[in-house]
Structure formats: C-alpha cells, structure tokens
Structure 1
Amino acid sequence: MTGETLNILVIEDSATDFKLIKRQVEGQGFAATFTWIADCDRLAESLQESWDLVLADYNIPHMEFEETLATIRSRYPALPVILVSGSVGEEQAVELLKRGMSDFVHKDNLTRLAPCITRALKETQEHRARVQAEKALLSSERKYRSMFDNAPVGVGIGELATGRLIEVNAAWLEILGFKHGEVVGRTAVELGIYLSNAQRLAIVQHLKENGRMINQPLRLRRKSGEIADLLCSAEIVDIGSTLYMQFLLIDVTEKMNTKRALAASEETLRKLYVAVNQSPTAVVITDRYGTIDFVNPRFSEMTGYSAEEMVGKNPQLLWAQLCKGEVWQGDFCNTRKDGTMFWEHDIISPIRNQAGEITHYMAIKEDISDKRAMEEQLRQAQKMEAVGQLAGGVAHDFNNIMQVITGNAYLQSMENQLRGMDTQHLDEIIRAVEHGSSLTKSLLVFSHKNAVELTYFDLNELIGQSRKLASKLVTEEIAIELELCAEPLHLLADAGLVQQIVFNMVTNARDAISGRGSVTIATRRVEAGEAPLPCGCSATSGSYAMLSIRDTGHGIPEEIRGRIFEPFFTTKEIGKGTGLGLAMIYGTVQRMNGFIAVQSPAEGGTEFVICVPLTPPPAAAPHPDEEGAVTGSGELILVVEDEEAVRSALTRTLVSAGYRAVAAGSGEEALALAKRSTGIAMALIDMILPGINGIECSQGLNALHPSLPVIFLTGYDNDMLAERGITANVLHKPIQSTRLVQRIKEVLEVREEQGG
C-alpha cells in the first residue's frame, strides 16, 4: 500500500499476539520492518532510534501504558501510537485518545488495524507537512516582518470598516511622530492624523471603486500638529473574514515645500505686493540704516503723507533696539500731515537675508484711535461708577444731617407759631435744606445714580436751579448766561436727565472755548405748524418747550456735523472724549418724544436746539399749611432709625403732630419693642440699619402684626433701593416735616378705610 518500508515498533508481551499483528500488517500489503519489545529497558533504548509507527498493548508487566505513551510523546510528539489490546473498554480508550493516542484496535478485530495505520500515517504526514509549512511561514514572516519593519517607506495596516490600526512600521511612526503603543488599536481619526474625516472616506471610496491607489498626494497631520506632505499608495487586502486597508506613505514634505516655494515665488511676490498695498494697516519698509524704501497706500491715508514724500526719509525711530535685531511693538501718539493727532500700534521687525544679516526693516502700523477711545470710555465709566458709589454714600450721610436740621427747624417753627413769634429765619433754614437736597440730587444725576423718574416740572425753574452747579463745570473765564422765557414751560420728564443734558452741553461748550467766552442757555415756547421748528421737528401741531445751549467756541465743521450724534464719534483729542455724550443726549431727547439739532450761528460758535412737547401740569394739591396743622389722634407709631439725632427729630415731630411715638435704634430693638407693645398703628423704618436691615425688620414686624403699614425712610438713591426690591412707600431724606406728617395721615386713612 506504500512504496516506502515502514519501521514499526511493537510493544507486546505475547509472542503470539506479536506474530498475529505482524501477519495482519504484512497481509494488508504494508512493507515494514518490525521490532518487538516487552519491557521498560528496551523502550528507553528503542526510543533512541527513528520510528514510523508504534503498536502497543495495554497490559504489559511492569509497564503502565499511560507512562509509556507519555514517554513516547515526549520524544516523538508527532509519532503515531495505536493501542492494540483486548482489555480496554471504550470509555478508557476515549480517555487515552485525549492524552495523545492515535487510535485503538481491539485484538478480536485486527482487520481494523490496516485502515487505522493508513489513517494514522496520513495524519502524521499531514501534520509534518503542516509543521514544515508553519516553519516556512514563520521564516517567511520573519523575513517579511524584517522587510516591513525596516522598509524605507511608512507602511500601515488598518481595518477597512472601522479604520482601527493593527500594525505600523518604524518608518510610519517616524514620519508621523508617534510611538508604537500610541497607535496600535486606535484609529487615525482618533489620533487626529487626518485633516478631516472626509479624507479617509474619500480614500476608502477610491479603493472600493478602483481596487488600489498609487502615489496619490495626501496631506496628514503629525503628532506635533505639523502638516506632512505624503505620497500614498493603498489597497484592500482580505485576511480571513476581515477586510483591511494596507497603505504605504512616502514623506515628500521637504520636496513639496521646496517645489511649492520655487513654483509660487513669483505669485507670492505678486500677492504680497497686492496685499501690502491693499492692507488695512500701514506698512513701512526701511533699509538697514532706517531710510524709508516703501510705504503702502494705507500709510498715506493714515498720516496724510504720500509715498513720494516719505521714500528716502529717515525717521530714526527706536534705532538702538532695532539694530540689535529685536522685534519692537508698542503704541504711541503720532501727528498727521494736517497736524491732527492719532494713536497707532506699531510692530517693527528686521528683514534678514539668507546669511542672517539684517538688510531692511518692516513696520506694520495700525490706527488704534477708536480702540483707545473705547478704552478711555471704559475708564471713564469706571470713574463714574466710583463717583456714583461715593455720591450715594455722601448723599446718605448728608441727607441724614439735613433731616435733623429740617426736623428741628419745623419743631421750632411750630413752637414759635404757638407763641406768636416770627418764623422767618426758620423758614430760611428750611428753604436752605431744600436747596441742599436739590444739590445732592444734582450730584447723583451727574454721577448717573438716579433712575428714570417722570415728574411734572417747570423747565425754567429747573434751568435756574442748575445754573450754580453748571458754573462749577467751566473755568472763571467762561460765563453762564440765562435767557429764560417769562411763562412757565411744564414738562413730564425726568428732571435729572434734563439736568444731565444741560451739564453735558455745558461741558462740551467749555472744551470748545479757548480763553474767554460764554455759554448761553435759553428757553422759549414754540408752536408747531406755524413755522418749521428750529430743531428740525416734523410735527405739524402741538406746543413745545425749546431749550438752546449756545457757546462762543470754535464751532463744528459742516463736513462732520451730521456725525456728531453717532456713538464713539468725537472731535476731541485722544484721551479727552469718549464719543458718548451727544449720543446719550440724542437718546434721552428721543425718549422724551423730542427733537434735537445743531447749527452754527452767524456770530460763530455752536448752538444745540432741543424741542420737547409741553405737558399741562395736574391740578395742584392743596398745601398742608393751607389746610391748617395736620394732627394725629394719638396713634402709636414705631420709629426705627440708627442715627440718634434723626431718631429724636422724627419722634418729636410726630408727638408735635398729635401722635404717640416709640423709637428703636436697630431692627432687633424694634422687634423686641413690637413684642411688648400693642396697638402699633404704623412703622417708620430707615432702610439701612445695623444688624438686620429695614426690609428684614419690616418682615419681622408684619409677622408679629399682620398688615402693619410701613413707610421706609432713606438717604440713598433710587438705584440702590431698586437693588433691594424697594419701589413703593418710600420717602427720601431729607423730607419736610409737614410732608412726612401728611404722608403718615394718608397711610393711616387708607388702613382705616380697609378695616385695618
């Protein structure tokens, strides 16, 4: 059955069984030589030789088959061993097969021996072929692995579906700057190699349609973030049941950079020339000695000097630092050809030749006047915020002082009236307090601390009150003159904002006047429809109050007159204006449904004209003095005030008006009094108290006495009250004693009507 002679080792203790086995094998046509052994010593000796097959019995004296099988397998792992026995059951045979036995033949059925030998020999042959193939494959793999690892081009293999990299070589890692452990098991997308996910999708699509890609230009991102120019070759390979993409990368970054640089040199120079000439920033190039070789058009626009006027000139700017080869940048104020000042930001850097020697300098100049103006605006806003906070604190303390004065003046006035004595001097004190309160409110308006509060007022009266503070805004050489109409001009507006308009206009006029001059503030009544209003008002009917502020300054040129109300536009020098004053005035006038215009009088200077609709004032409420003294009926009022002088003046005022008063210097003390006292009709509470504040005190009182009416007193401005949630039932210090008593009476009457 085979052309080769088999060398068969037979392990059998029975000579008869050996002969039967030999006869059976030879009878099946096998050419073989047989060696018969029956003890352990012969086994060890025989295993030194080479065998094609082992036929062994199970029960041999002094030999355990399992040990014999293990000994043979340790020496010849692939040698087929067939058990020929008459005493082994199927279960035991199966167990022996698991241990490495090739097959089992029962001695009663030796006809199976030949097929078993044929199959065992075939399997051994196949095993040996497989082992040789594996060795050859391993050798080939080592060879190709060496070629893979040491290839001069980058080679990588990744799953086609997911892009997960399973292997890359050293050149691939060197090209893209990664380490092996950072790459394997991750995708190129995760590593950030592709400039976009569309790159990989395009490559995969190309491979599916064309099968392969050969030396296609590809740009990838290195680990460092640098972009590498590569030539990419790729194909799809089928390994088992998975499709992979194998790709080769050749780094041509340096070559492409050189090629692009050479190919684009003329185009780059052309684009550079165009870019420099069209640059929104000024560009100046000088030689190594500082003589100007080139300026672009933006430089001429910014400075007013043409290229012909500048080329060949030497400004000698920052020369010591620049000669060291350092880049300089900074801001400085410069002068245009027409003499106007502007701020510029410069970056001056050296231009070197291939030897590293400085041959020229290039300056990039940017006009930052607007930016500086915005920065100045921010600083101004911060200053005003600080002034506002200071004004609020000063107003609180000042108003407390004036509350003491007006309270005591009222009490003395009442006492003098009872005695029939003159109250003229006391009345003057009260009027002075009212004037002081007006100055405090003006200070708050000037620092932008008062919220919008619509009230009815006479414009003429407001201008008259504002004159004194406005005169503080100008120098002694500038006179403030008033030309007010004889009839009242009633407006429904925020008096503080109107004052702010006047103050801003006066400030602008001061900056426009050099030396001696005047600012004239005039008012008059105008009717729409009879003739066009001087402020450009398009209204055809209605009565308006006209306010004009005229100065004797240098005036506003006609070419910029249409822009003066634009935000951040200013004609003042750098650092002397924010460009917001007139814009704010414009917005304020519009909020009052008014109109504003600017014109140049024939005698010179500037005149701003504002027209605001007149509003008939409401019917005047009767003054408390006209009704007689307002007195209480003994109602108990709780006064909560931390300033002792203010607290004393308030309690004595209430007692003089017919009320009973109990006083507390803090919120905690007030709550303690409220727990002991019954019949408290109302609480008069200062907003700012040590410990718990006025709001918390009010809440505590209402918990003890539900629906207890409360009037808050404060010396702070409306913004600070709004931040604390107080918008109603607030009286601002200093308040006239008659008005305070009147307000208390009104609140108590409302409570009585509501059944309180």
Structure 2
Amino acid sequence: MRNVTLADNERELSSISSAIAEQTAQSLQGVELLLRRAAVLTDVERVGTSSSTSTEFLRGQMGGVPQVRELTVADASGKLIASSAAADGSAINIAARPYFQYLEHAKGDAIAISEPITSMVDGKPTFAIAIRLESDSGRFEGVAIALIEEDYFRNFYREVDLQPGTQIRLLRTNGEPIIAYLQPASAPMGKRIQSVTHLVHGFPLAIQALRNESFVLADWRAFAINVLVRTALIATVIAMLAFLLIKLLRSLQGVIEQLRSSEQRWRAVFEHAPVGVLVLHAHSNYLMANPAFERMLGYSREELARLRAIDITHPDDIEVTKSNIDDLVTGRCDSVRFQKRYLHRDGHVVWTDMSIARVFAIYGPAAQSGRPTEHMLIATAEDITQRLDDEDRRRRLEDQLRQSQKLEALGTFAGGVAHDFNNILGAILGYGERALSVLGEGTPERRYVDQMTRAGDRARLLVERILTFSRSGMTARVHVHLQPVVAEAIELLKGTLPATIKLDVRLDADDAFAMGDATHMHQIIMNLGSNAVHAMPQGGVLGVALVRVRSGAPVSFSHGAVGSRDFVRLTVKDTGIGIPADVLERIFNPFFTTRRAGEGTGLGLSLVDGIVREYGGGIDVQTAPGEGTRFDVYLPVTDAPPAPHEHGRESLPHGDGQVVLLVDDEDTLVTLGEEVLAELGYEPVGFRSSIAAWEALVTGPNRFDAVITDQTMPELTGLALAARIRTLRPGLPVILCSGFSNTTLERDAREEGVLTVLRKPLRQADIAEALARAFKPASSH
C-alpha cells in the first residue's frame, strides 16, 4: 500500500506539472507573439517617433496579456530605445545582462529566459523573456524584452488547490529556479521529497512539482498503525472491531475528499485553459467545451451540446475534418494536428490550429461482438486568425517593397537616359531657334527648321514624361487650382469618347489648390479616362468626381499610404469588365499592358503612380469582374491662393556687356551658349572643363559677373563648383543647369547659394530671364 500511495502521488505530481507546463507554454507563447509584434517598434524609432508615442504603442500591445508587466526594446548596444514604463529609460543599458549577451551571439529567431532579475526601470523583482532582433541580412539589431509578472504564475498555482506541503517551481534548463510556490502546511517538513519535472514546450524552462513524503504517507501510516493495533487486540477486545471499522470508513471518506479535490483541480485547469478544450464523440455531438472555446465561436455550452463538429465547420474543411477523425477511429494514428476553419455564430470565419486524440471507446449492447459503438475524442483548438492575418499583411508589405525597389531601379535608368537626351535636345532646339531668327518668313528653309523645332518640342515633352516616371521630373511647384484644370482635362477627354459611353461629371472642390503642375493633372485624368474607355468595349458610364476630404488618421490604400491632413479625392470609375485579381497586382508595373501590340505602351498607370507618389498622395483601386473599376486618387491640398500668372514679354531682356562664365562638358552646348549670350548682350567665356573654369575664377575672381554651369560633369559637379565659388566670392550669382533635376537638387542648390536651377534643354528666353534676375539688384542701385 505504501508503494501504491507513492506511485499515485507521483502520477498526481506528473499530471499537475504536465498541466501547468502546458498552461505556462500557452501563456509564454502569447508573450512571444507580443514580442514579435513589438519588434516592429525598432523601425518606428528609426524614423523619429517620439518616446510618448512608442510608450503608448507598447502599452497598447500589452492589452489582454496580464502576465506581462513591462515591454521594452533595446538596440544592439544594449541601450533602451523604448519602454511601456512611463519613466525615461534612455540612460539604462542592459548590455551586461547574460540573456542580452546570449542573444547577441545567437542566430535566427532565438529566445532567452533570464535569471531572476531586478528591473532597471522600477527596481521590482521579475524575470525577462527576450527575443533576438536582426536585419534581413542576419545582423544583430537589438532585443525585445518582456518582464513577467511573477504574481501571475503564483496566483495560478494557488488556484490549482494543491495539497499542503506541495511546491511548484518554474526552473530554467540549468535547474535555476525562477518562481517557487509552496502550499502552506501545519506539520513540519521531512527530508525525503518526491518531485516530477516537465519541460515547457518551446521554451528553455521546466515545471517541477514537489511534495514531502511525510505528507504523502500520512494516511498510509495512520492506516498501518490501525491495522497493527487491530491485529494485536482482535483476540482480546471484540469491541475494538467496530472502532477500527469506523476508523477505516473515515479513512475512506478522506480518500473520497482527495478525489473530489483532485477533480476540482482538474476542473480549474479545464476552465482556465487559454485555448479551447473539447470532449466529443467521433462524428457526433460535443460532450464538453471549456469557456475559451465558447468565447472563440460565440456558442454557449448548451448550444454546443446539440451540435456536431461538422455543423459549425467551414464547408470547405468538412472533408479534411472527417478524414482526420477517421484516421483516429480506425487506429491509423493516435493523434492528429491540422488547421481548420470554424464558422462563428455571427458568421465570420475563425482559423484554428487543431490537435485531436482518441481517448477510449464506449461499448454498448453490441459489446459482445467486440466492436465499440462510440469513440471518445479530446481536442484542443487555438485561435490563429490574427496570426494568419498578420502573416498575410507582412507578405503584402514585402511584395510592395519588392515592387518599389523594381520601380526605383527602372526610374534611375530612365532618369539617366533623359539626362543624356536633354543635352542632345538642347543643341537641336538651341540651334533651331537661332536658325529661325535668321530665316525669312515664308521660305522653305524656315518651314523645315520650324518642323524640326516642333519635333524637338515633342521630344522634350517625352523627356518630361520619362522624368515624371522616374519620380524626378518635378523641380519647381506652383499653386494649381484643381477644379478648373480637371474640368479642362475632362473637356479634352470628352472629345475622344465614343457615342456608346455616357459621361457623368461631379466636381465639388472649387476651393482646393495643390502645389504641383497642371500638366500632371491632365496626364492623370487622360490616362485613367483612356483605360476606363478601353474597359467598356460595349459602352457604359464613365464617372469623374472631384471632392475635398479630410483624413483624421494615417490611411493605407491599395497603392500607397497618406498621413492625417486635407486631401482632394479624384474619382474615375467605369461600368466595364473589371480587373482580374492576377492583373490587379501588376497594373502599375512599367510596360505592363493587357492591350494588343501597338495599342498601348504600358506606361500610363506607371506615370499616374509616379505623379501621385511625387505629390505625397495615394491611390485606392476597387474592382470586381463584370461590375467595373473605381480609381480614387488622393492628393494633398493647400489653402494658399495660386500664384499670379506672368504674361510673356514681347522682347527678351538684354545685358550691358557683363562677363558670364559658361561651364559645360558638352562642346556643342558651350558653343551654342556663347552665341546665345553674345546675342543677348553679354560677354561669354566658355569652358569645357569645370576644373579649368575654377582655375580661371581663382586667377581672376573679380573678372566675372555671373556663372552658368552644368550640374553633371565628370571632374567637378555644378554644385561642388558653386560651393567653391561661395567660399571664394559669396556674392557672385550662380545659375545651375541640369537635364535630370529634382526637388532634392533644388534644395541642395539653395543651400549652396545658387540663384536658380534651369532644366535642360534651355531656351534663349530661360537664359535671358535668369540673367535679368541675377543683375536686377545691381541695376536698381
């Protein structure tokens, strides 16, 4: 009986430690998932998010995870960069912590459990769970740390209703205890201890359940003494038999109480498990379901008792569920694990990770045949809907990043081609202008040259489109009154519509202005309108709407994201054939088109995407096959009125013999520039080398009255030359020319004191007006 008592106690300790280890694993898995989500905070910190924002972000992540008392992120040097604690932890460094040093030299998704520590933020005892943060290349970037509430686990151990003298300890794998809880006992503890240890699945931890043998064998000793006394006195005192019988019944009552206590302990584990636990008949009704499963699907225990497993299973997963249960019933396997979808009571889909095992079989009247009539199954269901959604969102973001990188590479290539082409166009248009000025009206030669310059203008517009596509074509922005520009573009589009297409226009943003270029708005409407017409071969309705909207919070669209501010929303929708899913994800790719060869270039939507991104806006696409497509273009607006329009002058401003230093590495453009400057009344001095030009400036700094320089040159760029001029002679006007200019170049030019940036190909009027502005202050004196 002593051996049986010890064996029963060992089984009970094993069950307790196993159940608590499973609960601990489930709790820590939630902590690990929280750490994975909090790891994105390191990217937030790089772009300058305030400490209060990061604190609120981490506190928001801790909602519903009571076992975490503090969430912290540290960089690769051990310095805390964010914490859910209100105190400023910027001066705290955890590089000396053993778990930090372990993760620093680990690889992959490493996780570490610390020894019992004292929080550097609030000085309270705790222990830490930390994960390694690394870049895509595997470089160590820091750790995300969750400080655990020790009382959370102690309270759970206390609720298990342990016998007196029972101790539960949470150990690290090296045997070092982190948390220990002892059920108080009135009697003194002995030296012999029974213990059972179970590893915590997925973590370097173990649960150890211990009980003193003096408590375990207390009932056995009492029973043994009673038996000895009864045997010794049975021959002399018959009356003692009744007394001993009563003692035995009392002992049996104690066993019953122990069984009842054991049932209560297991009921506590069943009721408080964080995952759904089910007991059911194979292919039949649910017998039991814990509260976690009820909350997961929205059904009460009574409703589940009237349902079968397939009644609330997603129709597409019924067969796989039946197949796995059949494998258990036929004995092909003892347990199965798979993912399946349930239908929540309100209709939405719940993804679960199922684990099912066959426990035993119940025999009915057919037991004589040796065949069981029913099979009992026990299953656990973990809700993984959010995790799958997070993984899907991460894959979409990765796809967008790869697409952005492709577009950036294509844009760089297009910008380089446009730069070289602009230099060629500069010579063509420049000499074309000069030829027109010397040819008589009505002569064949003038007509030929005029056609040549018109072709050059068309080429210049093509370069503008290439620069816009490369996201580098916008150099100077002006205030654009959007509604008249949109109305003008719609009038142009209306003339190309077939009779089978009806135009529905609604413009309600008369007070909206944007900083940009009116030509870009024309390009957006014409490209979206052309695609809409192409999508309605049998006719339909083309809708165009313009309205001003307010975004109160950051919003992510299907293509791009915007912050919190005022926007104007341009909507172009059709009632055409729609866009298939496999085509939708590629519509903004350069050179992608669904039209036949010769009908489209595939650059239209790429151009629209480039313009919208350059403006800091976003595009939202909604489509359904057979129901049409809707493009919503969001552009930031400003309340400032548009700049007044300057009328052209009948004659260009001329100089008074000022000496202008001209620098360009293209021989043709230097020769052309000297002729143009001489014709405008200036004395040009041209250089084909920026180094030679700088040496001329050093030799005679007061010789020149202005400098016109190209930006892209092999030896010394135009900005670098401007920086040197600024140190040599700060007041000398510098005009910068570029065939591949952008807003970054303009900003850098202003910082170096450049008067203005001109975009190639240059016209004589551009040079004349720029020099007039350069010498205007001097002439006013």
Shorter-chain TM-score range:
0.3 to 0.5
TM-score (norm 2): 0.45
Instruction: Point out the structure with max Rg over C-alpha.
Output: 1
Query: Structure 1-normalised TM-score?
Result: 0.46
